[in-house]
Structure 1
């Protein structure tokens, strides 16, 4: 009879005894530790919170800088012989239109030169403190009014004043209410802007561009002409009696440039190339 082998005691260990033997522990990777995971999640949330506005700013188109309007060199010719500057269309805009643009500082007066009573006075409107965007100065408006009517308006004037200066002093008179209403319906024929800051030729060319013509008077005053836009810029010389004068920028409708601006210069000195 075959002998039955004795059972191997190593394989017959009860389950309760096996459970008491602790299983070996696996080492935790450093980035899986709770404190590291918590810190990583916090940093991720913080990056999202800060990065989203920056991403939106980079993806959105940049805002365009605001366009400055009403500058002295922003003259628009209409192609039909007229032009617009400072919100006025020369040749069609009236003194009433100008008063509506600057109601607080707008003034109208009759002017004449002392010792010339036989000549008709001129009608002039002006804004003493005129702000052309970031350029300030004085704005003077000229009109073409009937000479006989102006003499009658002068005689009806309630009061006036005389600037000190002797024989060449300027006399100013107010208009009677009915004459002031009539003056508001007269068209503005020319503008003269007298900037408070002193201009040089390089600055004018930079703003207006190269002139079509350049005149130099006997007194050294330089005239830069822009007939296509109806503009003439008068610049005093650096030295001499005329050096204390202020620069003047004159505006007319281009169709009136020859008559109002170029013709008075023809007898002074031939134009020189710019």
Structure 2
């Protein structure tokens, strides 16, 4: 298995009013709602080289330590094995620190199932801190039905999204739903130089209409979203998105290319 280790050398808050193309659910294909702009203003705009602390230590669970399994069916990152871990496993690890809910846009979009997501607000990946969002793969009909049985809800992002609390019975049933992917938003500023240092050169780079970049690493099941160099989006945070390598085409590359084409056609 491949381990993008600490010594490797070169060889992806709530949505905005109108989401940039790379932040829309159809692009991420995972239902992620933790995106770039929301936390950018609250966190210090620091640039870090992701260098380890002064005291020597062997850190585990770092963002660049990715271990794909045989035939890309699994991928280990942050101590989680994508392709095997489910919500129950996450709850055992994080307990009450893991927040779970069904996410819907405001206003509601008829016929569109809600996304089932969990997140850890203050997540530590070794010596790297940030926010972790987990997309869970539950059937669309179950999500629709669960939405009718929610125990409550609250509006977020100035009224643009709503997070619904699952009923007790649905919460128990949801424990068996597998993790589809992860999205990590590091607290520290992240740029292309650091990404290349830690992950190596990407197989492909896709640039959006706003100047943002998607760095694609299909063998690792990784896409790194870097904000544009200028404009309002330049204050955004980078996002690292993880899926199993075998799911990369379906969940990442194909939706990204379709979104780019749609964005270009709409200009």
Tell whether the structures are fold-level matches, with TM greater than 0.5: yes
- Deviation string 1:103-148 (CA, Å, 9 cap, x unpaired) is 2411110100001241211100110110111111100011221112
**Aligned counterparts, 1:153-168, within 5 A:** 153-166=146-159
Structure 1 length as normaliser, TM-score? 0.71
Conserved? CA contact 2:138–2:178, under 8 Å: no
**Pair 1:208-2:199 in alignment:** yes
RCO higher in 1 or 2 (8 Å CA, sep ≥ 6)?
2
Aligned match of 1:236: 227
Aligned match of 1:84: 76
Aligned-residue offset at 1:171: 0.4
> How well do the aligned residues superpose, as a CA RMSD in angstroms?
1.3
Aligned match of 1:124: 117
Structure 2 gap segments, 5+ residues each: 1-55, 262-267
Aligned match of 2:6: none
Aligned-residue offset at 1:178: 0.9
- Deviation string 1:19-62 (CA, Å, 9 cap, x unpaired) is xxxxxxxxxxxxxxxxxxxxxxxxxxxxxxxxxxxxxxxxxxxx
Structure 1 gap segments, 5+ residues each: 1-64, 270-274
Cα distance between partner residues in 2 of 1:101 and 1:213: 34
Cα distance between partner residues in 2 of 1:105 and 1:144: 20
Aligned match of 1:21: none
**Pair 1:113-2:105 in alignment:** yes
Match of 2:189 among 169, 186, 198: 198
Cα distance between partner residues in 1 of 2:154 and 2:69: 40
